């Protein structure tokens, strides 16, 4: 049984003697190619099947050059004991029974701390992550990626039988993450994934400080990750045991995001104010062109000398034509560099729908603000309108930058 490390959550480099610190680590301290950590809590019914399929796969790809590290938090169902009993049959398996410390993220890090692999990975212990995907992830790292993430949100990915509520909760959490901490959450399509691997050197020496479940956020937030690859996978239904996710994980997720966000604040502020200025000006000019389009269409449809349609109907059409005009220019010009990475029709359509939705919320905000400034604060109506338009332009720009033209730097 592996000895549980203590102290700071830091992954030692392979040459460091700290790595061989636990006396029972292994007979040799030779580095390996790959270490896969399996965090478990009450997975007694799943562990054997998982170890069997992982070993079968890896014995073919990396015979004798990998290790499976089960990190069990002293499960009442004695998962650790069952895992340990499998060691004679699976010599690449190592087991840690953790006591006095609990939690998914720290379990993963403790496992990596005692590992000997140049590539570090994690997979759930409940068979919800299909083992075969492992080989694609490994190949991606060997092909040069620093991080390879199994994703439910790229081609080939999905969830098997999730209720609409669960899907909304999951997407809502992702959206919230994008707003609170876009520089971490926005880098991958599935920031909630618990199935990924990374180059050890990308994270060695960093002091990690995760809260709760989302270890991937921590890796992206604090590691030196340049190239990211993603592979689609379908999140399987649980056949045995039960999920440990409760409302507490949602709260922890928010705390974790806030913590990651507060780092390197100055640098990001600079980025924020320097970089998008050009974009913002373009966005403003495109917005202005939209006003002309809107006016022209409104004239053509509603003026008594032209079609003479009813005003509201004409205005709705005029606004939508202006939105389409703005979207096309923004997609080609303002955010052209970002859009080029995702040129498919589907992605463009998705961007367009998001743009539409954001413009709509902007319009509602505009009307509310105008009313507030005019009726409550007694501002001149045109001045009030100008203030409202300025504020809403910022709102539209920022949300569109973060949501519509957010391009992950991952490659399928
Ligand atoms: N060591 C350890 N593993 C945990 C803990 N909580 C969950 N796990 C394991 O992490 C994996 C994912 O957890 P699960 O509850 O299935 O999450 P879900 O798939 O998102 O519902 C499973 O292998 C769990 O056994 C924990 O506190 N400690
Ligand atoms: Mg699970």
Question: What whole-number distance in Å separates Cα of residue 333 and Cα of residue 87?
Answer: 59
Confidence of residue 412 (pLDDT cuts 50, 70, 90): very low
- Which atom of ligand 1 lies at the shortest distance from residue 124's CA? 23
Percent above pLDDT 70 for the chain: 92
pLDDT recorded at residue 21:
52
Around ligand 1, the residues with Cβ closer than 6 Å are 39-41, 43, 71-73, 102-104, 107, 124-126, 128, 194, 243-245
What digits encode the pLDDT tens for the residues 77-120? 999 999 999 999 999 999 999 998 999 999 999 999 999 999 99
Question: What whole-number distance in Å separates Cα of residue 75 and Cα of residue 406?
Answer: 41
Q: Which residue in 41, 31, 45 sits closest to 240, CA to CA?
A: 45
DSSP string, 116-131: -EEEEEE--TTS-S-T
Question: What whole-number distance in Å separates Cα of residue 23 and Cα of residue 3?
Answer: 7
Q: How far is the CA of 96 from the centre of ligand 1 (A)?
A: 15
| Cβ-proximal residues to 244 (8 Å cutoff; 6+ apart), any chain | 41, 42, 104
Q: How far is the CA of 141 from the centre of ligand 1 (A)?
A: 25
Residue 82 CB coordination number (10 Å): 21
| Cβ-proximal residues to 410 (8 Å cutoff; 6+ apart), any chain | 149, 151, 154, 187, 188, 189, 228, 229, 230
- Which atom of ligand 1 lies at the shortest distance from residue 194's CA? 12
Q: Is 43 within 8 Å of 241 (Cβ atoms)?
A: yes
| This model's pTM is above 0.95 | no
Nearest-5° Cα angle at 371, 368 to 377 = 125
Q: Where are the domains of the chain?
A: 18-261, 276-404
pLDDT recorded at residue 13:
93
Q: How far is the CA of 244 from the centre of ligand 1 (A)?
A: 6
Question: What whole-number distance in Å separates Cα of residue 255 and Cα of residue 395?
Answer: 25
What is 18-261's CATH topology?
A: Spore Coat Polysaccharide Biosynthesis Protein SpsA; Chain A (3.90.550)
For atom 9 of ligand 1, the residue with the nearest CA is 40
What digits encode the pLDDT tens for the residues 65-81? 999 999 999 999 999 99
Q: How far is the CA of 412 from the centre of ligand 2 (A)?
A: 24
Q: Which residues pair with 121 in a beta bridge?
A: 36, 197
Cα distance between the two ends of the chain: 38
Q: Which residues pair with 69 in a beta bridge?
A: 37, 94
- Residue 183 pLDDT > 90: no
């Amino acid at each position: 049984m592996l000895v549980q490390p203590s102290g700071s959550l830091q992954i030692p480099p392979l040459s460091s003697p700290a790595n061989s610190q636990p006396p029972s680590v292994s007979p040799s301290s030779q580095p390996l190619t790959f270490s896969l950590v399996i965090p478990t809590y009450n997975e007694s019914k799943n562990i054997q099947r998982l170890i069997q399929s992982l070993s079968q796969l890896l014995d073919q790809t990396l015979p004798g050059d990998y290790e499976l590290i089960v990190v069990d938090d002293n499960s009442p169902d004695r998962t650790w004991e069952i895992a340990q009993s499998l060691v004679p049959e699976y010599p690449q398996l190592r087991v840690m029974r953790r006591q006095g410390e609990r939690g998914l993220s720290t379990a993963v890090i403790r496992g990596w701390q005692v590992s000997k692999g140049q590539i570090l990975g994690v997979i759930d212990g409940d068979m919800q992550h299909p083992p075969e995907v492992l080989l694609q992830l490994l190949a991606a790292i060997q092909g040069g990626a620093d991080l390879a993430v199994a994703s439910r949100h790229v081609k080939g990915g999905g969830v098997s039988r999730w209720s609409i509520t669960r899907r909304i909760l999951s997407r809502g959490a992702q959206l919230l993450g994008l707003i609170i901490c876009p520089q971490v959450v926005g880098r991958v399509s599935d920031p909630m994934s618990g199935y990924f691997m990374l180059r050890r050197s990308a994270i060695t020496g960093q002091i990690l400080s995760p809260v709760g479940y989302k270890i991937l956020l921590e890796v992206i937030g604090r590691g030196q990750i340049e190239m990211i690859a993603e592979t689609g996978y379908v999140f399987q239904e649980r056949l045995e045991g039960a999920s440990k996710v409760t409302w507490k994980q949602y709260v922890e997720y928010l705390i974790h995001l806030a913590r990651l966000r507060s780092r390197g604040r100055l640098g990001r502020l600079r980025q924020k104010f320097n970089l998008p200025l050009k974009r913002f000006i373009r966005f403003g000019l495109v917005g202005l062109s939209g006003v002309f389009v809107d006016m022209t269409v409104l004239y053509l449809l509603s003026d008594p000398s032209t079609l003479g349609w009813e005003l509201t109907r004409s205005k709705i059409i005029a606004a939508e034509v202006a939105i389409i005009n703005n979207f096309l220019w923004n997609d080609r010009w303002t955010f052209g560099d970002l859009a080029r990475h995702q040129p498919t029709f589907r992605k463009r359509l998705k961007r367009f729908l998001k743009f539409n939705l954001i413009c709509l919320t902007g319009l509602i905000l505009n009307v509310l603000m105008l009313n507030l400034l005019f009726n409550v604060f007694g501002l001149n109506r045109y001045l009030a309108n100008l203030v409202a338009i300025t504020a809403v332009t910022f709102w539209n720009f920022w949300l569109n930058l973060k949501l519509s033209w957010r391009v992950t730097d991952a490659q399928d």
